[in-house]
Structure 1
Amino acid sequence: MRKASKTPPKAAAPASSRIVRAFRWIGQGRLVAIACMLGLVAFRLLDPALLETARLRTFDFYQILKPRERAPLPVVIVDIDERSLREIGQWPWPRSDVADLLRTIGRAGGIAVAFDILFAEPDRLSPDRFGRSIARLSGEAAAELDRLPNTDTLLAETMGQMRIVVGQAARGRDTAQNAEQPGTPVAFIGPDPRSHLITYPGLLRNIEPLDAAASGRGLLSILPDLDSIVRRVALVAAVGETIHPSLSVELLRVATGGNAVAIKTDAAGVRSVVVGGVEVPTDPRGRIWIHYTPHDKARFVSAVDLMRGSFNVDRIRNHLVLVGTSAIGLLDLKATPLDPAMPGVEVHAQILETILDKSYLVRPNYALGAEIVLAIALSLLVVILAPILGAIPVLFLGMAIAAATVGGSWYLYIEHRMLIDVVYPLMTSFTAFMILVFLNYRREEVQRQQIRSAFGQYLAPSFVEQIARNPERLSLGGETRKMTFLFSDVRDFTAISESYKSDPQGLTTLMNRFLTPLSDAILRQGGTIDKYMGDAIMAFWNAPLDTPDHAADACAAALEMVRRLAEVNAARLAEDEKAGRTHVPLRVGIGLNTGDCVVGNMGSEFRFDYSVMGDAVNLASRLEGQTKTYGVTIIAGAETARGAADDYAFLEIDRIRVKGKSEPETIHCLVGDAKMRRDPAFLEEKTVFASMLNAYRSQDWSTAAAALTRFAEIAPPALAGLVPAYRARLARLSMTPPGPVWDGVFTAETK
């Protein structure tokens, strides 16, 4: 008989131990990367604005690389352009002129006409209304004007003889205006779509005679995406419980003689809109992706050419006609993927062309699922291979996968006009890769973080980074560098502070509220904030790190500071109005100057700061003080203006001896960016003011005064303060001329 073994059998390992061993085999880095990947899946399902904007910008890039090719389609824009306004007169024109324009379109053979214009009030230029607006008009003249035809009636009669679509604007508040007037019949094929459509509480319509005479009524309103770019336009939208078609859809319906617009729906929302026998695919909210072509002047016929009869009839015959404006002053400009300022009427034309050409951009319903699956697959591939292959081979593998992913998305866009996002899958997989890389270098980063924590509250961020890499730089000393300096100060802040006598905490909150965005504007342009002096800020560029374009960077920061302060004032105004308080806006003065100075660690062995000293610094401070004298916001020295002349708009405003300096300085007002520098209006302002300065320095006071008067007529608000400053100076000098030895330099009496 065999003896039983004395060794007991091995007990099965507990389940918890197996899980622990599995986790150890997977590794901390892989677990963190997988957890992050799952978090990003949830992030995609939430689809915050940042992620949506990145996706939309990708689709914009596709259209920029390969826009729709413009085919010869029967769509034309009758354009109330700058030339029309110059030759016919300012808008609005008399409705009798609009009626003449319609009759010309009708005689030329236009199929149907849509107005990208709203006639919400009666014509103030109608003879009967115009007569009542003239004071002391004789009774006989008033009676004669009353007998003339009403221009609204004339326009309504003309519209009744043609196929006309008038626009109506969705409003952000409820209104019962013209509620009794008819709308376009809308039929549903499937469930009621109202819960899915873009909905507005109110509607602004045309006056009753014109609305009643029109063959159709379409929504003018175009709701842009979160970044204010128009990519998708609702073909139908709800106003209250009533569904209205867009202007483009209504024009197609009227042109084809259709009685109604049909909406096909399913449980997910809208599938398509049917108009004129054409089924247009949409997203669940009833929106169409516009397949843009670049802005094309060939789409436009100037309204003045039609009114003068100097146009090619073939441009109108058998065409759908949109009447709108490209004039900048009428403010109907839209940002699109291809153009930052496309006329709104051209957007409507591009919608029509997209439909007529059937060149639809499509984002299928399964796109979200496909993008999430792709993101998970790529991320898991990185998580599995990175620890095995190493970072560099995985990097090249990732580049190959990224190229294939982007190439596939591009192929779908080119061949099938399908919009599939690659930003999210690549972002997710790249995040997993970066987590693995990050954990490998965590120990070194912890050491650097200790230095950052110790000195980050005292020194400039860029200097802290240098210390983290080179701790030996913590010693006294300085160097001479050419730098640009910025001083800013809030105007009348003492008076503002007095209003907070009983609320010192409120004053602190106010200072933090405006100093934070102003400081952020400086730091974002690579500046170092030297110190805060109450409500004032001192900053500099080109130290401790080299910044070749330091003058331009400082100018960019100054303009951004002004813009951000305007945002703060707008928010404070709304709060003050809501609370019933008197609103006192914050105004800032900024001085800029470029020159040599000494920069480095200054102080004692026990306490020192990284700071600057030199004459150029003092001049920047004096120039900030002179913004009050000249009534402008930003004054720059000559060296700064020269350094940033190619990128920014400057206006020379004087030669001045600031307090404490004997040498004169040519000073300039910083007006705007490169776009402003090329603006014809600014060039005219610059020319006129230069002629005033030449006459002023030549002691030709009358010529200088005449040029200053002309400048006052054209000067924008940002430069308007120069007018009273020079008007007072010219009046004083003409009464007491300085004599032949005068050098034309103004000596400042104050800081």
Structure 2
Amino acid sequence: MLRKHWPQIILGLLCFMLLAAHITSVLRLPAVERLDAYLYDTRVRFSAASAPDPRIAIIDIDEKSLAALGRWPWRRDLLARLVDQVFDHYHAQALGFDVVFAEADDSTGLATLRRLASGELADIPEFGATLTRIAPRLDTDTRLARALAKRNTVLGFYYSSDSHAVSAGALPAPALDAGTLAPVAANITPASHFGANLAQLQTAAAAGGHFVPSVDQDGVIRRVPLLVNIGGQFYPALSLALAQLALGHPPLEPVIEVGGGVPQLEALKLGKLTLSVDANGRATVPYRGPARSFAYVSAADVLKGTVPVDQLAGRILLLGATTPGLNDLRVTPVGEAYPGVEIHANLLSAMLDGALPQRPGYLLGAELLLLAVLTPILVWVLARRPPFQATVTVLTLLVALALADIWLWRVHHVDFPFAATLTLMVALYVLNMAWGYIFVTRRQSQLRQLFGQYVVPELVDRMSADPGKYTMVGQSRELSILFTDVRGFTSISESMAPAELTQFMNAFLTEISTVIRSGQPGTIDKYIGDCVMAFWGAPLPDTLHAHNAVLAALNIHAAMLRLNTTFAARNWPTLVVGVGVNSGVVTVGDMGSRYRLTYTVMGDAVNLTSRIESLTKFYGVPILVTAATRDAAPGFVYREIDRVRVAGREDAVTLYQPLALAGDEAATRYVDAFAPVLAHYRLRQWAQAQQQLATLLQAEPDCVLYRVWRDRVATMQANPPAADWDGVHVFVRK
């Protein structure tokens, strides 16, 4: 196999090495990365949750709210009222802000009044006193800070790696001590600048977290950094901070694995929950479905208190915008205008369930092992099996692996990187099919050209399915050979005009050829004038070659009876055809000269077949077969005719006439009637043999076989043979 299928083996090894390099990050293949992203998107779309998460709801800054409350940003006292409403009226568990309050609220003019009080109007005491009295009502930032204080509120902020950006606001407390992440700190998503909330607000809130997702090269959001490194400190994502707050602030700890001597962040432990992340601290977002897969309520309705309490009570709420004008619509696997706030809702839901998709470190070894196992299997299947079987096998493997991938995703939340495996299977399939089309098809075409003139199209089609198994090179094989010849052809040809003789012979040869090529077809070797030579068992192996050859001989005899009826209607001569069949080991292959080659058989068995075919005329029987054929094809009724030694051979051969298929009672009686003749003859019981022959001739006076034996017995009776006579009749002429 190695030598025969080396191109497929080399292709398989090249594909394996290339994809192994991709898996181990020695060489990244953008096409495989895009496929991995596409498979993730497809998996997410077909694994959507059947219902929203009842623990989470989104307060929507929608068109209705903007129409009722004015353009964004709203006054901080209005937001304070919203916070109070959320906790005092609706008894929410926690509230996260997918917005940032980086600047003071000057919508009340308090800052301007204070500048006037210390400047142009400083000499008017009444102005300063009035300002002091009303300032608390105008200080909306303080009002919002009081609403945030001592409640489960999480403020959002953003980060940036843009060198031109300017940091603003106050960051929340870090999520982890920098020392615990020291071994993997270099891999955590870095940032150089940030836009955070007013210190007054961030200090009042229970926590803070960033709301910046990770955007892949194709612009799609599939991951969110749960940790971001800003100035050597590690800050959480908004969803992580909310989960920690909602769960009672359990400790957050990194899970660092060391593989090959290299430490790598595998997950974050949040109390009893394990939050899977990649080496950069990013979590894969398991989207529950398209936009609005979570409960949404309008911010205006929350402020007015028209939302039923049970829709928000005890839930974790996220405040965010879906209106296009606020530019928080993102491209995700489940939608191209997906609300950014719902990305955090998806992450939060998965965290609470401990169901973040995971790619543990052992998947690298598992993926390499899968490739190493699949490569030789695919090479063997694609190289050795017919295209249809190979296609079915590859599709079956694909379906099985796809089902396994879905099972891992849905049951164990494992995000198996299936792209390299799929690429290997598709690449090997396509390359092997292309190889087969370019080279094997050419081989099949050559096979058709070589064998099409000898073998029926159906057999050529079977041979073309695996052309490597068939060759024109000479080889020794056991076959069954058939010869036919027309009795008295010379006189027939002399009595017919050339054109009419051509039609006559074409009709005869067509009938013979049709019989040979039907049923279990044989290979037509050649036409020699009125003689046809054929054989069974090559080029396509045939374990029943002897049976099929004898059956063809009987069918030829029957076909000649029908054909003579047609010939009689056209006033053409009656045909008498003799058929000889023999089985034996011969050489078969392409033989001839450098000027002309033909696929043929040669050997002693071929010569013997020709000899016994010529004896059909002597014995007056339509078919003769040798003992070798009779023994190899026991499914017929045979009548023994004689034991002879033909010209050119020392060994004697027993001749038989096949009469019918086994079980034919009339044929069996016919055999039983002649058998005593042979028995008496070989026992030198000449009188008894003559008596039996007389009885047979009385029933069939024109039977050539009986007359031949009558004359031979008479000769033997008159001139008894020597004492060492073996009962074999010798033919000295061919």
TM-score by length of 1: 0.52
Residue 385 of structure 1 corresponds to which residue in structure 2? Answer: 381
Residue 254 of structure 1 corresponds to which residue in structure 2? Answer: 245
Question: Are the structure 2 counterparts of residues 142 and 299 from structure 1 closer, same or farther at C-alpha, using a change threshold of 3 Å?
Answer: farther
**Match for residue 209 of structure 1 among 200, 205, 215:** 200
Q: Does 1:85 align with 2:81?
A: no
Residue 7 of structure 2 corresponds to which residue in structure 1? Answer: 28
- Note if contact 2:53-2:349 (Cα within 8 Å) is conserved in structure 1: no
Residue 110 of structure 1 corresponds to which residue in structure 2? Answer: 92
1:573-599 Cα shifts (integer Å, max 9, x gaps): xxxxxxxxxxxxxxxxxxxxxxxxxxx
Question: What is the SS of the residue equivalent to 2:332?
Answer: coil
Mapped to 2, the partners of 1:417 and 1:236 lie a distance apart of: 21
Mapped to 1, the partners of 2:420 and 2:76 lie a distance apart of: 53
- Note if contact 1:245-1:261 (Cα within 8 Å) is conserved in structure 2: no
- Note if contact 1:37-1:432 (Cα within 8 Å) is conserved in structure 2: no
Q: Does 1:58 align with 2:53?
A: no
Q: Does 1:271 align with 2:271?
A: no
- Note if contact 1:95-1:126 (Cα within 8 Å) is conserved in structure 2: no
Question: Are the structure 2 counterparts of residues 358 and 40 from structure 1 closer, same or farther at C-alpha, using a change threshold of 3 Å?
Answer: closer
Shift of 1:215: 1.7
Q: Does 1:280 align with 2:283?
A: no
**Match for residue 421 of structure 1 among 410, 417, 421:** 417
1:309-361 Cα shifts (integer Å, max 9, x gaps): 21222233222221111111101112222222221111111111111223332
Question: Are the structure 2 counterparts of residues 104 and 38 from structure 1 closer, same or farther at C-alpha, using a change threshold of 3 Å?
Answer: same
- Note if contact 2:220-2:333 (Cα within 8 Å) is conserved in structure 1: yes
Mapped to 2, the partners of 1:168 and 1:218 lie a distance apart of: 6
Shift of 1:163: 2.7
- Note if contact 2:257-2:265 (Cα within 8 Å) is conserved in structure 1: yes
- Note if contact 1:190-1:264 (Cα within 8 Å) is conserved in structure 2: no
**Match for residue 154 of structure 1 among 143, 148, 152:** 143
Q: Does 1:186 align with 2:176?
A: yes
1:190-248 Cα shifts (integer Å, max 9, x gaps): 76331221111222211222122222111111112222222222222211201001111
Question: What is the SS of the residue equivalent to 1:40?
Answer: helix
1:272-327 Cα shifts (integer Å, max 9, x gaps): 22335533233333222222212336522211012222122223322222111111
Shift of 1:97: 0.8
- Note if contact 1:178-1:208 (Cα within 8 Å) is conserved in structure 2: no
In the TM superposition, what are the counterparts of 1:485-496 in structure 2 within 5 Å?
none
1:206 maps to amino acid: N
1:372-404 Cα shifts (integer Å, max 9, x gaps): 332333332232333332333322222222222
Shift of 1:90: 0.5
Mapped to 1, the partners of 2:4 and 2:293 lie a distance apart of: 66
Question: Are the structure 2 counterparts of residues 290 and 445 from structure 1 closer, same or farther at C-alpha, using a change threshold of 3 Å?
Answer: same
1:534-582 Cα shifts (integer Å, max 9, x gaps): xxxxxxxxxxxxxxxxxxxxxxxxxxxxxxxxxxxxxxxxxxxxxxxxx
1:657-713 Cα shifts (integer Å, max 9, x gaps): xxxxxxxxxxxxxxxxxxxxxxxxxxxxxxxxxxxxxxxxxxxxxxxxxxxxxxxxx
> Is the deviation greater in 246-255 or in 143-152?
143-152
Question: What is the SS of the residue equivalent to 1:322?
Answer: strand
Mapped to 2, the partners of 1:264 and 1:36 lie a distance apart of: 34
Question: Are the structure 2 counterparts of residues 59 and 142 from structure 1 closer, same or farther at C-alpha, using a change threshold of 3 Å?
Answer: farther
Question: Are the structure 2 counterparts of residues 375 and 321 from structure 1 closer, same or farther at C-alpha, using a change threshold of 3 Å?
Answer: same
> Is the deviation greater in 96-105 or in 384-393?
384-393
- Note if contact 1:99-1:154 (Cα within 8 Å) is conserved in structure 2: yes
Question: Identity across aligned pairs (percent)?
Answer: 24
Mapped to 2, the partners of 1:274 and 1:73 lie a distance apart of: 24
Question: What is the SS of the residue equivalent to 1:340?
Answer: strand
1:403-450 Cα shifts (integer Å, max 9, x gaps): 22222222322332322233322321332233333334448999xxxx
Question: What is the SS of the residue equivalent to 1:248?
Answer: helix
Question: What is the SS of the residue equivalent to 1:296?
Answer: coil
Q: Does 1:172 align with 2:161?
A: yes
1:112 maps to amino acid: A
Question: Are the structure 2 counterparts of residues 270 and 73 from structure 1 closer, same or farther at C-alpha, using a change threshold of 3 Å?
Answer: farther
Provide the aligned length of Structure 1 versus Structure 2. 423
1:279 maps to amino acid: T
In the TM superposition, what are the counterparts of 1:505-544 in structure 2 within 5 Å?
none
Question: Are the structure 2 counterparts of residues 78 and 180 from structure 1 closer, same or farther at C-alpha, using a change threshold of 3 Å?
Answer: closer
Question: What is the SS of the residue equivalent to 1:79?
Answer: strand
Residue 221 of structure 2 corresponds to which residue in structure 1? Answer: 230
Mapped to 1, the partners of 2:9 and 2:323 lie a distance apart of: 58
- Note if contact 1:184-1:261 (Cα within 8 Å) is conserved in structure 2: no
Mapped to 1, the partners of 2:175 and 2:421 lie a distance apart of: 43
Question: Are the structure 2 counterparts of residues 354 and 142 from structure 1 closer, same or farther at C-alpha, using a change threshold of 3 Å?
Answer: farther
Question: Are the structure 2 counterparts of residues 192 and 328 from structure 1 closer, same or farther at C-alpha, using a change threshold of 3 Å?
Answer: same
**Match for residue 48 of structure 1 among 15, 24, 29:** 29
Question: What is the SS of the residue equivalent to 1:186?
Answer: coil
Mapped to 1, the partners of 2:247 and 2:412 lie a distance apart of: 28
Mapped to 1, the partners of 2:280 and 2:139 lie a distance apart of: 42
Shift of 1:91: 0.3
Mapped to 1, the partners of 2:414 and 2:57 lie a distance apart of: 28
Mapped to 1, the partners of 2:255 and 2:439 lie a distance apart of: 60
- Note if contact 1:156-1:209 (Cα within 8 Å) is conserved in structure 2: yes
- Note if contact 2:2-2:9 (Cα within 8 Å) is conserved in structure 1: no
Question: Are the structure 2 counterparts of residues 40 and 309 from structure 1 closer, same or farther at C-alpha, using a change threshold of 3 Å?
Answer: closer
2:156 maps to amino acid: G
In the TM superposition, what are the counterparts of 1:633-652 in structure 2 within 5 Å?
none
In the TM superposition, what are the counterparts of 1:447-458 in structure 2 within 5 Å?
none
**Match for residue 405 of structure 1 among 396, 401, 425:** 401
2:380 maps to amino acid: I
Question: Are the structure 2 counterparts of residues 438 and 347 from structure 1 closer, same or farther at C-alpha, using a change threshold of 3 Å?
Answer: same
- Note if contact 1:252-1:276 (Cα within 8 Å) is conserved in structure 2: no
Residue 37 of structure 1 corresponds to which residue in structure 2? Answer: 16
Larger radius of gyration: 2
1:307 maps to amino acid: L
1:115 maps to amino acid: F
Question: What is the SS of the residue equivalent to 1:63?
Answer: helix
- Note if contact 1:68-1:291 (Cα within 8 Å) is conserved in structure 2: no
Shift of 1:94: 1.0
Residue 126 of structure 1 corresponds to which residue in structure 2? Answer: 108
Q: Does 1:367 align with 2:363?
A: yes
**Match for residue 395 of structure 1 among 387, 391, 395:** 391
1:101 maps to amino acid: L
2:344 maps to amino acid: H
Question: What is the SS of the residue equivalent to 1:194?
Answer: helix
Residue 6 of structure 1 corresponds to which residue in structure 2? Answer: none
- Note if contact 2:150-2:206 (Cα within 8 Å) is conserved in structure 1: no
> Is the deviation greater in 214-223 or in 45-54?
45-54
Residue 327 of structure 1 corresponds to which residue in structure 2? Answer: 323
Shift of 1:117: 0.4
2:144 maps to amino acid: L
Question: Are the structure 2 counterparts of residues 276 and 165 from structure 1 closer, same or farther at C-alpha, using a change threshold of 3 Å?
Answer: farther
TM-score by length of 2: 0.53
Q: CA RMSD in A?
A: 3.3
In the TM superposition, what are the counterparts of 1:558-573 in structure 2 within 5 Å?
none
- Note if contact 1:326-1:343 (Cα within 8 Å) is conserved in structure 2: yes
1:271 maps to amino acid: E
Question: Are the structure 2 counterparts of residues 276 and 251 from structure 1 closer, same or farther at C-alpha, using a change threshold of 3 Å?
Answer: farther
Question: Are the structure 2 counterparts of residues 170 and 23 from structure 1 closer, same or farther at C-alpha, using a change threshold of 3 Å?
Answer: same
Shift of 1:103: 1.2
**Match for residue 79 of structure 2 among 94, 98, 123:** 98
